[in-house]
Chains A and B, each alone.
Chain A
Amino acid sequence: AQKITQTQPGMFVQEKEAVTLDCTYDTSDPSYGLFWYKQPSSGEMIFLIYQGSYDQQNATEGRYSLNFQKARKSANLVISASQLGDSAMYFCAMRGGGLTGGGNKLTFGTGTQLKVEL
């Protein structure tokens, strides 16, 4: 079974500052993928960044980077130079493979509501 934990229900950050959103996971699959999604109040789920379990380097996409610590089973999202438009719900999610056939199942954490302030 896969489990994703996000321990920060809400976070505040000042505009132009960096913020880290925490995510820990648990899985018995040897191979898995970790994703972060952004969901504004409009409801759309927007894919931000991906980290594979075998990737040696941390993923980066523009202002988003993923601090991947495999031994600690953590995959924290770092947003640099926060903007007002970054205010949204952020979900960490995982897809696992292995022999269970659950490769196409994306499991979400409970989310972190981020508010960017002036």
Chain B
Amino acid sequence: DTEVTQTPKHLVMGMTNKKSLKCEQHMGHRAMYWYKQKAKKPPELMFVYSYEKLSINESVPSRFSPECPNSSLLNLHLHALQPEDSALYLCASSRMETGGPLGSPLHFGNGTRLTVT
């Protein structure tokens, strides 16, 4: 069983809907991530939260809005998405490292498969 839990597993939404993806971890990790993955492509980083503060935003469109309510939870709020936003959305967490060999792996959840109709 993965230690990072994502809900829901599958989500179908229309372009005018508002929905949220949720991610939870209880490993005491203070870095949390959202990645987007299209079929047969590598994951692409969207956002990084460090100590509950947004530290990296990879120029993601504003229709994606991340939120980190506490050190265990990470949300991704979705609004007015486009069909091309359909993808697997992966949440991950890791220990914080700001230097050195950066050996802490990212622990990923099972992802949410999002379909925008």
Which A residues contact B (CB, under 8 angstroms)? 31-33, 35, 37, 42-47, 50, 52-55, 91, 95-97, 101-111
B96 at the interface (CB under 8 A from A): yes
Contact B99 A103 (CB under 8 A): yes
From residue B8, how far is it (CB to closest CB) to chain A in Å?
13
- What number of residue pairs across chains A and B have CB atoms under 8 A from each other? 85
Does more than half of chain A's interface fall in helix, strand or loop, or is it mixed? loop
CA distance A37 to B42 in the complex (A): 11
From residue B116, how far is it (CB to closest CB) to chain A in Å?
18
B100 at the interface (CB under 8 A from A): yes
Contact A97 B50 (CB under 8 A): no
Q: How many chain-B residues does the 8 Å CB contact rule pick out?
A: 32
From residue A95, how far is it (CB to closest CB) to chain B in Å?
4
B77 at the interface (CB under 8 A from A): no
- List residues of chain B with CB within 8 A of the CB of A106: 33, 45, 92, 106
Residue B105 contacts which of A47, A54, A55, A109 (CB distance < 8 angstroms)?
A: A47
Which of A37, A42, A54 has the most chain B CB within a 10 Å cutoff?
Answer: A37
Given A43-B110, A44-B108, A44-B111, A52 and B42 contact (CB-CB distance below 8 Å): no
Residue B94 contacts which of A32, A104, A107, A111 (CB distance < 8 angstroms)?
A: A104
Given A45-B92, A45-B108, A95-B102, A103 and B45 contact (CB-CB distance below 8 Å): no
CA distance A81 to B2 in the complex (A): 25
Contact A42 B103 (CB under 8 A): no
- List residues of chain B with CB within 8 A of the CB of A108: 42-43
Contact B50 A104 (CB under 8 A): yes
Which of B41, B92, B106 has the most chain A CB within a 10 Å cutoff?
Answer: B106
